Amino acid sequence: MRFPVPLNAVVAHRWHCDHFGHLNARHYAAAFDDAIFIFWSQAGVEVPPPGQPGVIPVTAQLKIEYRSEVTAGEVLAISGQPARIGGKSVTLALTMQEAATGRTVATCEVVEVFFDALARQSVPVPDPVRVALQGAG
């Protein structure tokens, strides 16, 4: 993988805005959450069907920093990259920017723990995922 990897685009619609006319926090969270799923898909992580064995990343912590107002009609692009690769977890750094100008409107730091889907406990980051994430360049 080459980083930062483009993950998704979002349009701030009028119904996404709060009573101040700004994109509401819940919609930033949803956009970043979608980006996390896209990131893992691009890294080769395959989510097993419910009840089937497999190793999956689960969100343990999510921290959003709002940097600039977003109003209805703005188109936003999200990109991401690994910030830290640990033994059982990976920290992702996601950036949301206004597509037209590149202005950063929000960042998101996410700690994802790898989890055995059946045993319901943390496990080491799978080697193929580690290799994909270390392929920055």
Residue-level pLDDT at 1: 79
* Side chain identity at residue 108, one-letter code: C
Measuring CA to CA, how many Å separate 23 from each of 7, 47, 77, 99, 109? 19, 31, 14, 15, 19
Q: How far apart are CA 134 and CA 127, in angstroms?
A: 10
* Mean pLDDT, residues 102-113: 98
For residue 35, give the nearest of 117, 85, 73, 92 by alpha carbon: 92
* Mean pLDDT, residues 115-119: 95
Percent of the chain with pLDDT over 70: 99
CATH of segment(s) 5-133: 3.10.129.10
Beta strands in 1-137 (DSSP E): 5-11, 55-66, 75-85, 89-98, 104-116, 121-122
Angle (CA) 31-91-128 rounded to 5° is: 100
Residue-level pLDDT at 136: 52
Distance of CA 67 to the CA centre of its chain: 17
Tokens of 116: 């055995």
How many other C-beta atoms are found inside a 10 Å radius of the C-beta of residue 104? 13
What pTM, to 2 d.p., does this model score?
Answer: 0.93
For residue 107, give the nearest of 84, 81, 133 by alpha carbon: 81
Residue-level pLDDT at 135: 74
For residue 105, give the nearest of 2, 37, 32, 41 by alpha carbon: 32
pLDDT reading at 137 higher than 70: no
Average pLDDT, the chain: 95
Judge contact between 35 and 7, C-beta under 8 A.
yes
Q: What is the largest CA-CA distance in the chain?
A: 47
pLDDT tens by residue, 88-107: 999 999 999 999 999 999 99
* Mean pLDDT, residues 43-63: 95
